[in-house]
Amino acid sequence: MFRASLNRWISAPLMSGWLALLCGIGAVAVPTIVRVAVNGVVTGCEFTPYLPFVLLSAIFLGWKQAIAVALASVAVLGGLFFGPSHVLHAGPCFQAGAGIFLMSSALMLGVVAFVRAVVGGLLGDPDAGSGGAIFSLEEGEVWLSRHGQGPPVCLGSQGRVSEMMKDFLAQEELGKRLAARSQ
């Protein structure tokens, strides 16, 4: 059960939809608040508070959302501390800081993607590579996984799926009997 849960987490982001959007906004807002709070102490272009939030976004939200968080961080920091009209012409300090921040963010995204791929490969069933279906049960819900073919899919509650499978097997048996009669 733990392995199926971990495999599901590795295969797909933990959050999606509105929750992912809210977390992405928070991943830009919280470090911005921290940066504003230390503005008198820290001078120049400082992206450091944003880095852990880009990493957390890559882990929990996925790479597309983490890219959006990194780009929004540059835009917000540039607009807030340099003014909207000066973001593109802010000078070497901002440009260098933004470049290093974006390269660091890209490196973190790459490391997260690499770890997901390696761990996903270790967790995967090598015998299922030919397209086999893997069913797992977690907290009363039945999940279907297909090795290397996207994230697992929730099929429904154990009772409902069990009834559907019984019905399927009964239909299959009836089909075999009818096919045998017609020969």
Cβ atoms within 10 Å of 126's Cβ, excluding its own: 7
Q: What is the pTM of this model?
A: 0.59
Domain that holds residue 174: 128-181
Instruction: Name 133's bridge partners.
Output: 146
Task: Please tell me whether residues 55 and 15 are part of one structural domain.
Answer: yes
> What pLDDT sits at residue 126?
46
Total number of domains constituting the chain: 2
> What pLDDT sits at residue 33?
87
Task: Please tell me whether residues 59 and 29 are part of one structural domain.
Answer: yes
> What pLDDT sits at residue 68?
92
> What tens digit of pLDDT does each residue of 85-137 get?
555 555 667 777 888 889 999 999 999 988 888 877 776 654 444 457 788 88
Task: Please tell me whether residues 110 and 137 are part of one structural domain.
Answer: no
pLDDT band for position 44 (50/70/90)?
low
Task: Please tell me whether residues 33 and 14 are part of one structural domain.
Answer: yes
Task: Please tell me whether residues 31 and 83 are part of one structural domain.
Answer: yes
Lowest mean pLDDT among 32-36, 51-55, 112-116, 128-132: 128-132
pLDDT higher than 60, residue 149? yes
Residue that is last in its domain, among 123, 153, 170: 123
Tokens of 89: 């012409």
Task: Please tell me whether residues 38 and 115 are part of one structural domain.
Answer: yes
Task: Please tell me whether residues 119 and 139 are part of one structural domain.
Answer: no
